[in-house]
Each structure stands twice: as C-alpha cells, then as structure tokens.
C-alpha cells in the first residue's frame, strides 16, 4: 500500500476541483432548486421546523408555497393516509441537509426574504450543502485511492471521474439530486471499512453503522451498500473463513455497527409509526415507479440513447474494464466491488421509472468504481508514450463531451427522458440548436393535456376501429327519438356503462398511439358539469401483484348539456401513456354520478398508430 502524507499532486488536484466545481455551481446557479424529487426529499425540514406539520395534515400551507415557488406540478411527493399526507421520500437526505437548512433559515431571518423554507436563502443554503458534500466526496475518494495507488494515478483518476463523466453535471449544474451526497457517504463508508479491517476499533464500527444507516434511510434501494463491509477482503474460500473468524472475534463491534445502523433509521421508523400506526410502511405505491424483477432492462440502462449510462458517461467503460487489472493487482478489492456493481445494476435495471440524464442512479457508486478506474489508469501510465498520448487525447475528449452535455441539459437541449439516437447525433457537440430539431425527440406522452385532447396532425397516423358498441342487443332501452334503435340506459342504479378493458400489447407494438373515444348521449334532464364523465385511463398489470389494477394517466371528460330530448356528441383524443408493462390495460367507460337518466349510443374507440417513415 502507498503512503499519502506527501502526496501533494493529488491534494492540489482535489482543491483545484473544489474551486472549479464551486465556480461552476455558484456561477451558474440552478433555478427553482427545491422542486420535483428534491422538493420531497427536503420537505421534511420546513414541514417539521417551520410549519410544525411533519405529516402535512393541513395541505393549504403547502399549496400556498407551491403557488409562490412552482415546486411541483402535482403533489406526487405525498401519499394520503387518513387525515395525513405522508411524505413519500425517506428523511435521510433531510437529516444530512438539516445544518444547511438552519443556515438558510438564519439567512432568511436576517434578510428581506420570507422565512418560509423555500425562498432564495434556503435555496442558496442547499447549493452550499451540495458543494460541501462534493468536497467531502473528493477528500475521502482521494484517501481511499492513495491506499492502493500512487499520487499520479490518484490525481488522474479524480480528474477523469469528476470532469470526464456525467458527475460534472450532477456536481455543479444540478444541485438537487441526492446522488452526489450519497457518493460522499459511499466514499466514507469505503474508507472506514478499510480502516476497520486494518484495526478493529469501535469508532470505525460506529462510523460504518451510521454511514450505512444514513445511506439506507436516504435511498432504501442503496441497502446494497451493506455488501461492501460484509464482503470486504473476501475473494476465495480461505479469505471467507478468515472473515467469519474476524466477525466472531469482534462480534461485539458487529452488534455495535448494527445498532448504529438501526439508530440512523430510527427517525424514519418513528415518523411512519406516529402517523400511520406502522413501523414499516410502503411509499412505493405509484404503479409506474417500482421494481419489476422479472424484467430487468440491462441493455436499455447501459446503452440506450434515451438515457443509457455508457452513452452519456462513456468514460466509465474503462472503470468496468479496470476490474481486470484490479483483480490482478489487488485481488481482495475486486470481488466486493464487482458484487456491489452487479447487484446495483440489477436493481437499477429492474426499476420501472427513473427520469434522469445519464442514469443518475449510478452516481453514488462512482466512489467505488473509482478503484477499478484507477487500476486501469495505473496500467495506462506504465505503457509507452503512444498509448499514454492516446489515452490523454481520449480523456480530453471525454472532458469536452461531459462539459458540453452538462451545458446542453442545463439549456434544455438534452431532454431527461425523450432522447433518441437520431436526435442525439443531430445535437452532438452543439451549444444551441434549431427548435425544429426537437421533432426527433420521443413524443411527450402527456402532450394531449396541452392540445385540448385533439391529435395535432392525423395525416401521420393510420387508424382502425378498436371497438364500437351500438347496443343493438335484446334488453336495451328503446331510443325515444328512433323507436327502431336500441341504446344503453344509465341511472342511479346503473352508474357505469359497458366498458373497454384491453391490454396494451393487444392494441399496438408502436412507440405510441392515440385513442379517439366518441359517443352520443342524451339526458332526461339537463346534464350538469360533473354529473356524468367519460373516463380514460391505464391500469397496471404486472409482477407487483399488490399494485395490479392501480390506475395512471387517469383522465375524465364531462358529458354536459342543457338540452333535453336531443342527442349530443362527444369526441376526445387520449394519448396513451408509456406503459409500465405490455400487459397494462387501457380502460374507458362512462360514469353517471347523478340520479339523472342518461342514454348512451354509438360508443366507439378508434386507434391512431404512427405510419412508417416510408409511407
């Protein structure tokens, strides 16, 4: 192992990166930082310490905040539970942000800004928090690298990792993701795991326990972090036996470690118990966000132009290749790191929804992948000048690419979830684009909410009738206008019409489709707004049985008329959402919420699918 007391080059690299990343962060400040997911992660703090309403029993104060700051289009960060609106995001990140929240509160009280938890002083405090944790991550990543690699290798590894990957974006232009904070905690976890295996001291066990607990309570799927201390120094049968003996010998410290892991998670358990009556409470109830272990999408996660990790952070290919020289040079390091990467990749690939540039869920694992990346760089530095020169040119290219991509996503050129291969190459290396190029993006599956539920251009679609209900079967009601025609009668006893429920896979295999739902209706009395609704929705049907039947993109359209005894028509275009699984169902029906007698006829669903490019 290498010493680090006189490793000045890597120390200068750390502080150079601290200054550069700080200048970028505060020079290009993120607007509306406390929004979307970060809004949910942070919400525990103002809800508890300013509004004294940690479970948001009175949502009016939050609605006023959202009206002022436009934090979120919907309160998806909350989950209704009785009289409470439980914050779905675990409170680990809030705990880590709490010192900076109080700093922001102090600054707000000393300024003209409102001390409401969301004004500029609080946002500035969160930027300071993000920068602070970037510094911590750099310091501990350097400490870990110097344990196994020389000063030069450490310096180049830090430069490559922080400037040559998507980490530069998440460390600067976007201060609202928890992943850079977790990177710092992974780096510390790695450091104290190394130290405990060198010297079995209680303070190292306590540190490992607290770090594990905070990581898990910040992002529960990062429970995979347990694999690092658990399998550290295990690489064959003999080392496994040694690890078991080590645990048995210092079992008291292992218990101490577990206790402090539990202690870090205790506030979350008490929060759940206080407001739900349960210590364990599921907040993953969104049918479009969860784990589908039967369908991990490895290729999509790694190589898709939509947001594939190795497309938007191609330098990390060399971190993966670095496991080979790492195994050869430091055999004890490779297995736990490789095991963590494999399990983490599986979890990420099995998660059904994660909108982010370059798949940000990998970011925290960069603290671990720094070691195989360093092994690869160390190998290159021993090669002849041609190989080193080629590698230097590649690094310059990756730094340029990461900087350009960071700027592109900041300016809205790179989209977080609608990227395509064609669009990627159209914008490659450009700092500004013609808006017409955006036609190559994937379609926004919620654009119908902006078009008045009308297809903008039907000429680019083929259409087919999916179903037509004319109700010409015995037992139906006679049309009061045309006695030869039968219609469907709805009243206070029959509230729902005949419906359509059909799996997505049976409708189309295209990237998207529109459903035009049309019908005729007539009321015995005037139909007031809200009395009767046309419902269009998708329902989840996948491997998570507890979520089966849960709806998403639920839309309603009123049947409304002041006329009596005349048929009225309604036609709407519903753009199908991106299905979580191909078995998810499109469902549509009419819902009579009143006692009014309402007649329905010619209920039809016509599907519009994109034409081929050569048509």
Give the list of residues 6+ apart from residue 86 with CB closer than 8 angstroms, or none.
55, 56, 78, 79, 80, 272, 275, 276, 281, 283
* Residues in a beta bridge with 558: 533
Q: How many CA atoms lie within 13 A of 399 on its CB side?
A: 14
CA angle, residues 515, 75, 306, in degrees to nearest 5: 55
* Three-class secondary structure of residue 588 per DSSP: strand
Report the pLDDT value the prediction gives residue 390, as an integer from 0 to 100.
Answer: 98
Query: 492-517 in b/e burial notation, b at 16+ Cβ within 10 A?
Result: eeeeebeebebebeebbeeebbbbbb
Label the pairing between strands 500-503 and 585-592.
antiparallel
Q: What is the pLDDT of residues 366-387, one digit of tens each?
A: 999 999 999 999 999 999 999 9
pLDDT of 615 above 70: no
Burial class for 61, CB neighbours closer than 10 Å (0-12, 13-18, 19+): middle
Range 76-80 average pLDDT: 96
Query: What stretch(es) of the chain map to CATH 2.60.120?
Result: 447-610
Residues near 68 by Cβ (< 8 Å), separated by ≥ 6?
A: 116, 118
Predicted local confidence at residue 358, as pLDDT = 66
d(CA 436, CA 456): 16
Q: At what angle do helices 151-163 and 8-27 cross, to 10 degrees?
A: 10
User: Is pLDDT of 4 > 50?
Assistant: no
Question: In the predicted model, is pLDDT for residue 159 greater than 50?
Answer: yes
**pLDDT above 70: residue 1:** no
Give the least confident one: 18-22, 173-177, 188-192, 519-523. Answer: 173-177
Supply angle C-alpha 397, 127, 187, rounded to 5: 65
Alpha-carbon torsion 371, 375, 378, 384, what sign? negative
Question: Helix (H, G, I), strand (E, B), or coil: what is residue 434?
Answer: coil
Q: Minimal CA–CA distance to 491: which of 468, 525, 536, 537?
A: 525
Kindly give the pairing relationship between strand 486-490 and strand 477-478: antiparallel
Instruction: Please give the full DSSP string across 16-81, using - where no structure is assigned.
Output: HHHHHHHHHHHHSPPTT-S-HHHHHHHTHHHHHHTSS-TT-S-THHHHHHHHHH---SS-TTEEEE
Contacts of 382 (CB under 8 A, 6+ apart): none
pLDDT at 290: 87
DSSP string spanning 84-124? EEEE-S-SHHHHHHHHHHHHHHHHHHTSSS--SSSSHHHHH
- What is the C-alpha to C-alpha distance for residues 132 and 128, in angstroms, rounded to an integer? 6
Mean pLDDT of 30-57: 96
* 442 Cβ neighbours under 8 A, 6+ residues apart: 306, 417, 418, 419, 420, 511
Alpha helices in 357-384, H assignment, sequence order? 366-381
SS3 of residue 529 by DSSP: coil
Q: CA 453, CA 558: separation in Å to the nearest integer?
A: 13
Q: What is the pLDDT of residue 614?
A: 57
Distance (Å, whole) CA 83 – CA 60: 13
Core vs surface per residue 446-468: b (16+ CB within 10 A) or e: eebeeeebebeeeeebeeeebee
The pLDDT of residue 417 is above 90: no
Asked if the model's pLDDT at residue 5 lies above 60, the reply is no
Residue 401: predicted pLDDT: 98
Q: Can you tell me the distance from the alpha carbon of 104 to that of 472, in angstroms, rounded to the nearest whole number? A: 68
Q: Closest by alpha carbon to 209, among 226, 227, 197?
A: 226
Separation between Cα atoms, residue 566 and residue 525, nearest integer Å? 11
As a whole number of angstroms, the distance between CA 564 and CA 465 comes to: 30
Residue with the larger pLDDT of the pair 177 and 451: 451
Residues 40-64, mean pLDDT to the nearest whole number: 98
Count CB-CB contacts under 10 A for residue 581: 18
Q: What is the Cα 168 distance to its own chain's centre?
A: 18
Instruction: Looking at the structure, give the CATH architecture of the domain made up of residues 447-610.
Output: Sandwich (2.60)
The fraction of the chain above a pLDDT of 90, given in percent, is 92
Q: Please state the length of the chain.
A: 615
User: What pLDDT is recorded for position 177?
Assistant: 74
Instruction: Label residue 264 left, alpha or beta by phi (over 0 means left) and psi (-120 to 50 means alpha).
Output: alpha
Using DSSP's 3-state secondary structure scheme, residue 11 falls into helix
Residues 599/519, Cβ–Cβ less than 8 Å = no
**478, β-bridge pairs:** 486
Share of the chain above pLDDT 70, in %: 98
* Angle between the N-to-C axes of helices 334-350 and 366-381, in degrees from 0 to 180, rounded to the nearest 10: 130
Q: Decide if pLDDT at 420 tops 50.
A: yes
Confidence tier at 546 by pLDDT (50, 70, 90)? confident
Average pLDDT for 119-133: 97
Mean pLDDT for 135-156 is 98
Checking phi first, is residue 578 left (phi over 0); if not, alpha (psi -120 to 50) or beta? beta
Tell me which H or E stretch contains 8.
helix 8-27
| Rounded distance between C-alpha atoms, residue 274 and residue 313, angstroms | 43
- Could you read off the pLDDT of 264-321 as tens digits, one per residue? 999 999 999 999 999 999 998 888 888 899 989 999 999 999 999 999 999 999 999 9
Give the integer Cα–Cα distance in Å for 100 and 181.
13
Over the chain, what is the mean pLDDT?
Answer: 95
> What pLDDT is attached to residue 354?
58
């Amino acid at each position: 192992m290498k010493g680090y007391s006189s490793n000045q080059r890597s120390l200068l690299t750390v502080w150079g990166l601290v200054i550069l990343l700080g200048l970028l962060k505060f020079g290009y400040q993120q607007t509306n930082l406390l929004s979307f997911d970060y809004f949910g992660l942070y919400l525990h703090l103002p809800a508890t310490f300013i509004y004294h309403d940690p479970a948001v029993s009175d949502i009016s104060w939050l609605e006023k905040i959202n009206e002022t700051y436009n934090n979120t289009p919907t309160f998806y960060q909350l989950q209704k539970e009785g009289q409470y609106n439980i914050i779905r995001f675990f409170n680990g990140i809030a705990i880590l942000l709490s010192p900076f929240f109080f700093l922001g509160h102090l600054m707000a009280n000393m300024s003209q800004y409102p001390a409401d938890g969301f004004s500029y002083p609080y946002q500035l405090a969160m930027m300071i928090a993000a920068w602070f944790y970037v510094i911590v991550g750099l310091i501990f990543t350097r400490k870990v690298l110097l344990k196994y690699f020389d000063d030069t290798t450490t310096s180049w590894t830090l430069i490559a990792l922080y400037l040559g990957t998507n980490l530069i974006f998440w460390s600067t232009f976007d201060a609202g993701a928890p992943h850079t904070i977790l990177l710092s905690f992974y780096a510390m976890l790695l450091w104290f795991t190394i130290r405990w295996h060198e010297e079995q001291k209680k303070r190292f066990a306590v540190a490992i326990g607290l770090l594990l607990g905070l990581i898990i309570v910040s992002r529960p799927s990062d429970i995979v972090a347990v694999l690092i201390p658990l399998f550290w120094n295990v690489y064959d049968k003999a080392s496994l036996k040694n690890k078991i003996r080590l645990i048995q010998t210092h079992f008291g410290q292992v218990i101490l470690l577990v206790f402090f892991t539990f202690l870090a998670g205790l506030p979350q358990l008490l929060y759940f118990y206080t407001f739900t009556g349960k210590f364990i409470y599921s907040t993953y109830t969104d049918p479009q966000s969860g784990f589908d272990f039967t369908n991990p999408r490895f290729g999509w996660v790694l190589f898709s132009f939509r947001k594939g990790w190795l497309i938007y952070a191609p330098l990390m290919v060399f971190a993966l290749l670095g496991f080979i020289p790492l195994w050869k040079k430091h055999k004890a390091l490779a297995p736990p790191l490789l095991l963590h990467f494999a399990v983490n990749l599986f979890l990420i690939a099995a998660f059904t929804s994660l909108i982010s540039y370059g798949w940000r869920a990998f970011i925290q694992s960069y603290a671990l992948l720094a070691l195989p990346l360093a092994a690869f760089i160390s190998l290159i530095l021993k090669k002849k000048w041609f190989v080193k020169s080629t590698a230097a040119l590649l690094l310059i290219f990756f730094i340029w690419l990461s900087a350009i991509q960071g700027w592109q996503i900041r300016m809205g050129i790179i989209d977080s979830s609608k990227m395509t291969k064609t669009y990627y190459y159209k914008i490659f290396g450009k700092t500004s684009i013609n808006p017409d190029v955006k036609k190559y993006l994937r379609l926004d599956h919620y654009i119908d909410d902006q078009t008045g539920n009308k297809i903008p251009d039907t000429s680019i679609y083929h259409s087919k009738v999916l179903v037509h209900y004319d109700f010409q079967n015995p037992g139906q009601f006679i049309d009061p206008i045309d006695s030869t025609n039968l219609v469907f009668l709805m009243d206070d006893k029959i509230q729902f019409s005949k419906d359509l429920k059909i799996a997505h896979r049976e409708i189309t295999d295209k990237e998207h489709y529109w459903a035009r739902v049309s019908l005729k209706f007539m009321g015995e009395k005037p139909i007031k707004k809200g009395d009767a609704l046309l419902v269009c929705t998708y329902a989840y049907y996948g491997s998570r049985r507890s979520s089966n039947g849960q709806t998403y993109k639920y839309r309603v359209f009123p049947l409304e008329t002041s006329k009596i005894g005349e048929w009225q028509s309604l036609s709407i275009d519903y753009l199908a959402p991106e299905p979580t699984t191909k078995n998810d169902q499109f469902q549509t029906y009419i819902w009579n919420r009143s006692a009014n007698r309402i007649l329905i006829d010619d209920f039809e669903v016509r599907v519009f699918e994109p034409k081929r490019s050569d048509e």
